[in-house]
Each structure stands twice: as structure tokens, then as C-alpha cells.
Amino acid sequence: MAAESSEKWILNVTAQTPTNIAVIKYWGKRDEDLILPINDSISVTLDPNHLCTTTSVAVSPAFTQDRMWLNGKEVSLSGGRYQNCLRELRSRASDFEDEKKGIKITKKNWEKLHVHVVSYNNFPTAAGLASSAAGLACLVFSLAKLMNVKEDHSKLSAIARQGSGSACRSLYGGFVKWIMGKEENGSDSIAVQLADEKHWDDLVIIIAVVSSRQKETSSTSGMRDSVETSPLIKHRAKEVVPKRIIEMEEVIRKRDFPAFARLTCADSNQFHAVCLDTLPPIFYMNDTSHRIISCVEKWNRHEGSPQVAYTFDAGPNAVLISHNRKAATLLLQRLLFYFPPKSDTDLNSYVIGDKTILKDAG
């Protein structure tokens, strides 16, 4: 066996993964351990140059336990979700050999070797901008590279799903669908790409960071409470989302912006209605989020046809999708007028898909 503690080598891999924002939301699980959802969802993966996670993973015979540092602080890797991903990946690891460095790791050794993970999100963590999606997708992707796992993106998406549901969609760019699947073991609950990043490249996404504070109710516990107590979530999963998924796929295929905006806004609003319908009610949006919705709704009505779509994940921060660069410029002007950075609204604006990044509020 080459991987012995007396040996002094370290093997490492670094990867970067963008976050994704759902336009038809995932909210509710039918299986908590395997992370199987109660409905399909569709998302758009953001430009990897902006909101993303960077993760370095390393393996060495000198490591005595699995350890992880997130945004500079050590966090535990012992949680069931991290361990499920690690187990799935270790069982698929392949032999690795680097003769020059004298490293040889057999399939069996991977089970015994420990990993160290250092991860950094360049955007607020646990604030409703899908850090768990970028974070877990990046973790699975980088570990798969390190361990020489020979599986395609579809299989890796099913592993990332077991870390955080939304993470399965971040392994692809463009528009992505997470198929809920039917199998009890989750083998068909995977992400598929609906359209690549070039398909609808007129769209410009602006993220208004209303608050970068960590949310009080994590997505995991929020959706668990909704499944247990909300009558509306059942109607949503059974009657509403299946129709919206079919419509959204068609709208994306045709690049029909007005229909895309109407569906995206309606689905965000229904997701937050489910949160209100939960006992005790969950308030992810705040007054500033509500003012942003009113502002966009008024503008869209004034223009006669939607120019901007809004969607809010499990947090107060607005994801605004504009039809094109012209609409994005006008939107940014309005945002800066009504929500000036450094005001009491605590608002930063990030422009995605552009080189401009406004990040002023402190």
C-alpha cells in the first residue's frame, strides 16, 4: 500500500461553481435523507464570473480526519449530508498514480484517506442567494475530480442533490430542470440542461442584495415546516407546478420574455405565499423586498408588457431578470434612484452578466 502515514505528499484540486436561481421553485421534500423533492423545478445558472463558490480539496496520508473551512472558519464535515456525498464519491473513486511524485492510490485506499476542504463564497452565505447550491455542487465536483470519479454530470448531479437539493442544478449552465423522479432510491431524481448559456444571452440578471445577514430559518427547516403544516403546498405541488413546468419549458424554448416574466413572478409569489401559509409563518421577504416588487410591477404595467421579472429565494434579496441590456440599464437607474446604496434600505446591487459591480452599502 502506497498511502501510508509516513509518506509526505498532498494531492489537491480547485474548482469554481456558479450559483443558480430557481424560476420555478423547489420547496418541499418527500424524502429528507435522500433529498427527493415533491415537485420538479427549473433554474437559471448565473454567470460563473460573478456569484460563485471556489473550493479546494486535498488528500494526504498525513490527514487524520475529514475537515472543512468555510469562508475562513472551520465547520464540521460530520453532518449526514456531507458524509452522504463523501460516501457516494469514495465508493466511485478510481485508482490514481503519479509516478514522478511517487503517489499511488488504489480504489481501496480512497476509503481510508481523509480530505481537507477549503471553500469560499464570493457572495452572502445562507442569505437566500443559493449558497448551498453553489457550495455543494462545487464540493462534489472538486472531490469527484480529486478522486478520479468517472461519472457523467447527470450522476454527479444526483450526488450533489444529496448535499443540498438545489445543488444538483448548478452542475450545468444555462436553464436547468431538476426532475423530481419516481424511484424510491432517488436514482432518477437528477438535473438536465434545458438550454445552454448561449440560448438566451440577451437576458441580464441584476441581484439587489437587500440584506446579507444570515436568515433565521434555513431552507431545510423552512420547507420541512411547510410540508408538515401548509395546505397550500399540496395544491401547489400537485396542481400548479406541473402545469407551470410545461409552460416554462415552452417559454424558454421560444424566448418569450413576457410569458417568462409572468410565470417567474407568479411562482416566486406563490412560494412566499406557501411560507406565509406555514405554521408558524415564515417571512423571508422584508419591506424593501415588497417595495422592489411594487416598483417592478408598476413599471411593467406602465410599459404595457413586462420588461423585468423578479424572483426571491428563501431570503429578502431580489433577483431581477431584465429582457435585455437596455431594460437592465433603465432598471438599474430606477433601483439607484429608489434604493440608493448606503441608505437605510441596506441595499447593494450586483450586475450579473456585465463587468459593472455596484457594492456600496456597508
Binding footprint of ligand ADP on the chain (CB under 6 A): 53, 70, 119, 121, 125-133, 135-136, 139, 218-219, 313-315
Cell of 349: 446591487
Q: Report which residue type is found at 296.
A: V
**What's the CA gap between 281 and 278, in Å, rounded?**
5
CA nearest 49: which of 81, 22, 17, 21?
17
Lookup result for grid cell 406563490:
270
Residues of span 317-346 touching ligand DP6 by CB under 6 A:
none
Smallest distance, ligand ADP to C-beta of residue 176, A: 16
Q: Does 26 help bind ligand DP6 (rule: CB under 6 A)?
A: yes
Q: Which is nearer to ligand DP6, 288 or 311 (CB)?
A: 311
Closest residue to ligand ADP in the complex (CB): 135
Which residue type, as a one-letter code, is found at position 122?
Answer: N
Q: Which of 19, 55, 162, 166 binds ligand DP6 (CB under 6 A)?
A: 166
Instruction: Choose between 57 and 176: whose C-beta lies nearer to ligand DP6.
Output: 176
Asked if 45 is part of the footprint of ligand DP6 (rule: CB under 6 A), the reply reads no
Burial of 297 (0-12, 13-18, 19+ CB in 10 A): middle
Q: Please state the closest distance from residue 346 (CB atom) to ligand DP6, in A.
A: 21
Q: Measured from the CB of residue 251, what is the shortest distance to Co ion in angstroms?
A: 25
Q: Which one-letter amino acid corresponds to residue 271?
A: F
Tell me which stretch binds Co ion (CB under 5 A): 40-48, 211-219, 290-298, 315-323. 211-219
Q: Which of residues 297-316 bind ligand DP6 (CB under 6 A)?
A: 313-314
Residue 165 binds: one of Co ion, ligand DP6, ligand ADP, none (C-beta under 5 to 8 A by kind) = ligand DP6
Cα gap 103→9, rounded to integer Å: 7
Of the pair 130, 296, the CB lying nearest ligand ADP is at 130
Amino acid (one-letter) located at 3: A
Q: How far is the CB of 53 from ligand DP6 (least distance, A)?
A: 13
Q: Which of the choices ligand DP6, Co ion, ligand ADP, none does residue 26 contact, using the CB cut-off of 5 to 8 A by kind?
A: ligand DP6
User: CA nearest 221: which of 92, 19, 29, 8?
Assistant: 29
- DSSP structural state of residue 240: I
Site for Co ion in 120-159 (CB under 5 A): 132
Cβ 21 vs Cβ 43: under 8 Å = yes
What is the bridge-based pairing of β-strands 20-24 and 11-18? unpaired
